Copies of this chain bind each other. A is one copy, B any other.
Amino acid sequence: MKKGPRIKQVIVTPIAVVDPPLLNAAGLHAPYALRTILEIITDDNICGISEIPGNLATNEALIKAGRLIIGKDPFQLNQIRELLESNFGKENASDRGIAPWDQRKLVHIFSSIEVACLDIIGKIVNRPVVDLLGGRFRDLVPFAAYLFYKPKGAGGKLEFGIDEKATGWENARQASAMNPVELVEQAKAMCKEFGFKSIKLKGGVFEPQAEVDTMFALRQAFGPDVPLRIDPNGVWKLETAIKFGRMLKPIIEYLEDPVRGQDDMAYVRNELGVLLATNMCTTSFDDIPNSIRVHSEDIILSDHHFWGGLHASTKLASICQTFGRELSMHSNSHLGISLAAMVHLGAAIPNLKYALDTHYPWQSDEVIVGGRLKFEDGSVQVPAGPGLGVELDRDKLAALHQNYLDCGLTKRDDEVEMQKIEPGWKFELVRW
């Protein structure tokens, strides 16, 4: 048996992509969302790629990790994970941080390396990544419309300006969406453009009654056949979650992270009798035993960037299946490489009862050859071709890297962005 390829080179490229001013419990999206593109190249010049949330500290650690894996066999993912763990130290669930998004380093680093290695392996064996995860259960992976409250503006160089000639979804992407009427317009434009069949509202922005009013306006506009979800990112008090959860109960598919912490989630779930989902209280394998014990949620919104890759996510799916939980997916602002990885994973998971989250419609940039991936009736087809089935467009990568250098951002900080439009605004763990 001939010796397999070895990792020759690792390239870490931070990029900044235009992002609209989306409101959330932690503040406001900056004009650019940061992502990091990883390229791993073997000694026989096979290149694997991946994409993770951008952050200066993560990037520095990823560069260090890249040096450690030079000379390694991309098939030896177990050994690579052990090597990274021994160099970076095991992380605890508390390293996740208090923001709605995950701030652990090791899971991001290992995820990016694993996905790029699976891309390489897929290219070596001439198979799509889904076939390396046990093979496909479906060809089309369904996503949900992800609504945001937002002021006018499309972000990026436009600096909150808008394109007066924009129509359709592009218009809605730039338009103000601060009340039920405007949110219904956003939902209609997004569902028309992408064909989504489920709708999620990012909540935790306004006082709960205003958000509940938006949910009822959506229900009235879309009827009972379009599942609705709301995610206040844990900023509701227990009694707020009970009060407004009761109102929402007749019209929601599930309630995502109404409160913080597994025990409070379990309490709300028990009181309300509605399905709960999370990407905040059960976010690592260390959190699983207590999640099962207290039954803090019904649906775990996995994110391969945070759970340590695609293999780890299939293992999480097995745990969910074994313990009678459902698995769906969380997202941050992202481009097509992350979307492709999510789709391969989504195609390989046996039970996919709920359409996945994605911010993808909110971004307009792309870094892959052929431009932005298409949604058909709200779903994305598993990319054809070996590996992830998407390739880097190097001109676009260079341009987006220049954006990164120009924009001056080094990490996501929605609080600072919010203070630019609302001086003195403070992120609060529990607000209402």
- Please determine whether A1 and B76 come into contact, CB atoms closer than 8 angstroms: no
- Least CB distance from A178 to B in Å reads 43
- Please determine whether B137 and A323 come into contact, CB atoms closer than 8 angstroms: no
- A289-B323 contact, Cβ under 8 Å, with A75-B127, A77-B134, A78-B134: yes
Stretch of A20-28, A226-234, A311-319, A356-364 with 4 or more beta carbons under 8 angstroms from chain B: A311-319
A161 on the B face (CB < 8 A): no
A73 to B131, CA, bound (A): 10
Residues of B within 8 A of A288 (CB): 322-323
A385 on the B face (CB < 8 A): yes
Identical subunits present: 2
Residues of B within 8 A of A134 (CB): 77-78, 311
Residues 123 to 160 of chain A near chain B (Cβ within 8 Å): 124-128, 131, 134-137
Q: Per-position contact with B for A299-343: 1 when CB-CB < 8 Å, else 0?
A: 000000000000100110011011110000000000000000000
> Residue of B at shortest CB range from A122?
B1
- Please determine whether A1 and B78 come into contact, CB atoms closer than 8 angstroms: no
A384 on the B face (CB < 8 A): yes
A125 to B311, CA, bound (A): 19
Residues of B within 8 A of A1 (CB): 126-128, 384-386
Residues 185 to 229 of chain A near chain B (Cβ within 8 Å): none
Residues of B within 8 A of A350 (CB): 78, 82
- Please determine whether B321 and A2 come into contact, CB atoms closer than 8 angstroms: no
Residues of B within 8 A of A77 (CB): 134-135
- Least CB distance from A232 to B in Å reads 28
- Least CB distance from A154 to B in Å reads 37
A113 on the B face (CB < 8 A): no
- Please determine whether A78 and B135 come into contact, CB atoms closer than 8 angstroms: yes
A88 on the B face (CB < 8 A): no
Residues of B within 8 A of A4 (CB): 126-127
A348 on the B face (CB < 8 A): yes
A322 to B307, CA, bound (A): 13
- Please determine whether B318 and A135 come into contact, CB atoms closer than 8 angstroms: no
A128 to B76, CA, bound (A): 11
- Please determine whether A131 and B323 come into contact, CB atoms closer than 8 angstroms: no
- Least CB distance from A119 to B in Å reads 14
Residues of B within 8 A of A348 (CB): 78
Residues of B within 8 A of A75 (CB): 127, 131, 135
A285 on the B face (CB < 8 A): yes
> Residue of B at shortest CB range from A82?
B137
- A136-B79 contact, Cβ under 8 Å, with A1-B385, A127-B4: yes
A143 to B324, CA, bound (A): 35
Known: A73-B135, A289-B324. 8 other contacts (CB 8 A): A1-B127, A4-B126, A76-B135, A82-B350, A285-B321, A289-B292, A315-B315, A319-B322
- A79-B311 contact, Cβ under 8 Å, with A127-B4, A319-B319, A321-B285: no
A73 to B292, CA, bound (A): 36
Ordered by A's residue number, 11 sampled pairs between the chains whose C-beta atoms are within 8 Å are A1-B384, A76-B131, A77-B134, A79-B136, A82-B350, A121-B125, A285-B321, A285-B322, A289-B292, A289-B322, A289-B323
A386 to B75, CA, bound (A): 13
A288 to B320, CA, bound (A): 12
Residues of B within 8 A of A386 (CB): 1
- Least CB distance from A367 to B in Å reads 22
A4 to B122, CA, bound (A): 13
Residues of B within 8 A of A323 (CB): 288-289
Interface centre among A82, A125, A384 (most CB of B within 10 A): A125
A15 to B4, CA, bound (A): 36
Residues of B within 8 A of A311 (CB): 134
- A78-B318 contact, Cβ under 8 Å, with A124-B125, A126-B2: no
